[in-house]
Structure 1
Amino acid sequence: PVRDADLHWAIIAKVDTAEAFVKEAAFTKTIVLVTAGMIFGVCLLAILLAQMFVRPVRRLEQGAQRISAGDYDVAIPVKTGDEIGDLTVAFNEMGRSLTVKQDLIDQHRKDTDQLLRSLMPDAVAERFKQGEETIAMEHHKVTVIFADIIGLERLQVELSPEESLTLVNELIRQMDAAAEHLGMERVHTVRNGYLASCGLAVPRLDNVRRTVDFALECEQIVDRFNADTGRELSLRAGIDTGRVSSGLFGTPSVVYDMWGAAVNIAHQIKNGSPQPGIYVTSRVQEVLQETVEFTPAGTIAVDGATEPVWRLSESP
């Protein structure tokens, strides 16, 4: 107000609130924006730092998932020298150790499979691996050969155990190769005896022909052995065809074997003559009589009846 005795005036000035507080509003706005920017920046930095800290842990997690899935060939790069880096190094060492152990397990499993398949047919080996305890099968139209190498006893007396075993293993190896080539299936070897069959695991229409061919090949193997070593070994074999059974015997140690009338008769006619040669039953002779020449070689008693025995004329 203006104070004058003669004047009774008052001057009133008005200013809009927005205009009066414009600077305060601008300052407040600036404060809010700066604060929001700082909060956003801090959050973004926190996210980036979290990603940076968590990334190695996630790599370890992914590696652990791969290992749990069976993939042991995992190597995580070590990018830090802190505790996470030490943990990564330990994880990689664990992965390498598991890889080595898995390789050993795989090799052991492979060796076991090969051993099983050398002792029994693949189908029987698979059933045995699945945990079956009683495995027995019946087979029809199977031809069986029992072969003896005559003279091995004398050879074993004249030579050391190592030398005689080396020679016997070489003979068996060649007979196994001939059996595989002709589709024969070795059942087992006993001392100087060799038991094999054709049509047991894999049915074959010409199983009789294959078995006789195998016997002839075994004779040639023995002849070549004699020529190379100066020995005087010979082969005596019995062959029959018919129904047989096969399966596993024993627990916990198991043995694959074959039994039945055809097996018994093949063994019987093999022992029926002291002379070397390939001896067959009438069932074998009837199948091959048009292509192979046989001569009578006596008889054997089977279940109270007399059964003729034939000798392969091609046999020396």
Structure 2
Amino acid sequence: MGDVLKSRLFAWISFGTEKFEGPAKRRIIMTNILVMLTTALCIPHALFFLIYDAHALWIPIVLTLACALAFQLTPLLHSYNPYAGGLYNLSLWLVFAMSISWMFSARSGVHFYLLAGATTAIAIFGIRQNLLSVFSIVLGLACFIIVDRNFSQPASFIQVSDTFLDVFYYLSIPTAMLFIFCMVFYGFKQASTAESALQREYEYSEALLANMLPGPIAAQLKRHPGRTIADSHEEATILFADIVGFTPRASHLSPDTLVKFLNQLFTRFDDLANKHGLEKIKTLGDAFMVAGGMPEAQPDHAVRVAKMALDMVAETNKFAEEMGEKIELRIGIHSGPVVAGVIGTKKPFYDVWGDTVNTAARMESFGTNGKIQVTAETKKILEAQFDFAERGKVMIKGKGDLNLWYLEGLTKP
């Protein structure tokens, strides 16, 4: 029974919103809620008059009940214009409050309903219809002043006692204040909801930017939008990793399985990059690129990259055991000067260029399955802390004959 009642109540509140979205839909829902509130105020007034003297107060009873029925027509106007129902509701409320105030005078306190009605203008019309909002507020205030200054006694056909007017006053003022409080509360709640939504969007944007760009680079872009960001780094270490036999593997895997496979493995590599304080530059297919010593200088950049390379091999072996199949990496590392910067404006990304990058890529592509291949430059930096196995001279495209080494692990104490 409760669910049925709740469903019907929601259907009534949402009536007329089918054609609208966003602010217009919320405005119509607010108008429908006001219809319920104004109707809920009219009925007790009619009962109050009926109990006091149905014969003497038949005119305000009929007027109040007629207004209660007329309020129910409001949702039917939404289909014509998202503001039509709200304008009708406020106009009818103005007629009701002015008529009752004229009949029972300012001594009844009913004219405070005019102020309550004025507070609903912004909630109904919003800031996009400032003229309507301002007009409704000014009209409500003007009517309030007119009643307060001119309607000092009840109309001649209304015969009520001073006690009735006192009771009416003490009922009207709290009711009007409660109505105003509800409107103010609603306004602050909407503002708070909007602020929370903006904060969530800001946090999401910040997190997205942090994932796309290194922190210092993202900070520069926010401080200087549109500025070209390019830095030269005299000392850096570049790592390229590639999954051995990935192309044949990809040919017999479904797209979902393939993407899931790469995502699981590369997520582990992302975690390793964070662990060692390195900057993941990009992934390209099954290739994974990491840089050390940038965008901020790191004296131990080569050591960090070497440790990550060893961890990548260990993590890949662990992943292979979990998958129940053979998975190997080819890893190439080289150290030297590089140039780094941000490319693009709509989809900016941080990239690295230079001979060091090209050489690191060659170390991977001309490497050995399951091995970490490094140049003599990188070995010279690392040889005090790591063990190496000499591969010898290898003809590298575009580089000629190079003495290359395999990184095997940390030097045992």
Relative to the length of structure 1, the TM-score reads 0.69
Task: Tell me whether 1:235 sits opposite 2:366 in the alignment.
Answer: no
Partners in 1 of 2:365 and 2:397 — Cα distance?
A: 14
Q: Which residue of 1 aligns with 2:364?
A: 270
Q: Which residue of 2 aligns with 1:296?
A: 391
- The SS at the match of 2:228 is coil
The 3 A distance-change label for structure 1 pair 120 and 198 is same
| AA partner of residue 388 (structure 2) | E
Aligned-pair distance for 1:162? 1.2
Q: Which residue of 1 aligns with 2:205?
A: 112
**CA displacement, residues 255-287 of structure 1 (integer Å, 9 cap, x when unaligned):** 221112211110012112354411111111112
| AA partner of residue 254 (structure 2) | S
| AA partner of residue 358 (structure 2) | N
Q: Which residue of 2 aligns with 1:163?
A: 257
| AA partner of residue 310 (structure 1) | W
Task: Tell me whether 1:122 sits opposite 2:221 in the alignment.
Answer: no
- The SS at the match of 2:247 is helix
Question: Contact 1:280–1:312 at 8 Å: present in 2 too?
Answer: yes
Partners in 2 of 1:253 and 1:228 — Cα distance?
A: 36
Aligned length: 240
Task: Tell me whether 1:220 sits opposite 2:314 in the alignment.
Answer: yes
Partners in 2 of 1:277 and 1:188 — Cα distance?
A: 21
Question: Contact 1:219–1:235 at 8 Å: present in 2 too?
Answer: yes
Q: How does 1:29-40 map to 2 (within 5 A)?
A: none
Q: Which residue of 1 aligns with 2:353?
A: 259
CA RMSD of the aligned region, Å? 2.6
| AA partner of residue 195 (structure 2) | Q
**CA displacement, residues 200-252 of structure 1 (integer Å, 9 cap, x when unaligned):** 13322221111111111111111112211122221111111111121111232
Partners in 1 of 2:184 and 2:347 — Cα distance?
A: 41
Partners in 1 of 2:213 and 2:268 — Cα distance?
A: 19
Partners in 1 of 2:364 and 2:392 — Cα distance?
A: 11
- The SS at the match of 1:80 is helix
Deviates more, 1:158-167 or 1:306-315: 306-315
Query: Looking at CA atoms only, which structure, 1 or 2, has the larger radius of gyration?
Result: 1
Q: Which residue of 1 aligns with 2:404?
A: 309
Q: Structure 1 regions of 5+ residues with no counterpart?
A: 1-52, 61-78
Q: Which residue of 2 aligns with 1:40?
A: none
Aligned-pair distance for 1:301? 5.2
With CA pairs under 8 Å and 6+ residues apart, which has the higher RCO, 1 or 2? Answer: 1
The sequence identity of aligned pairs, in percent, is 23
The structure with the greater share of residues assigned to helix is 2
Task: Tell me whether 1:186 sits opposite 2:280 in the alignment.
Answer: yes
- The SS at the match of 2:387 is coil
Partners in 2 of 1:300 and 1:282 — Cα distance?
A: 14
| AA partner of residue 92 (structure 1) | F
Q: Which runs of 4+ in 1 moved over 6 A?
A: none
Partners in 2 of 1:263 and 1:193 — Cα distance?
A: 14
| AA partner of residue 311 (structure 1) | Y
Partners in 1 of 2:196 and 2:348 — Cα distance?
A: 27
| AA partner of residue 248 (structure 1) | V
Partners in 1 of 2:332 and 2:352 — Cα distance?
A: 15
Q: Which residue of 1 aligns with 2:29?
A: none
Q: Which residue of 1 aligns with 2:189?
A: 96
Q: Which residue of 1 aligns with 2:234?
A: 140
| AA partner of residue 214 (structure 1) | M
Q: Structure 2 regions of 5+ residues with no counterpart?
A: 1-111, 120-172
Question: Contact 2:313–2:370 at 8 Å: present in 1 too?
Answer: no
| AA partner of residue 299 (structure 1) | V
**CA displacement, residues 140-175 of structure 1 (integer Å, 9 cap, x when unaligned):** 211110111113333322322112211211111111
Aligned-pair distance for 1:177? 1.2
| AA partner of residue 99 (structure 1) | S
Partners in 1 of 2:349 and 2:277 — Cα distance?
A: 22
Aligned-pair distance for 1:132? 3.4
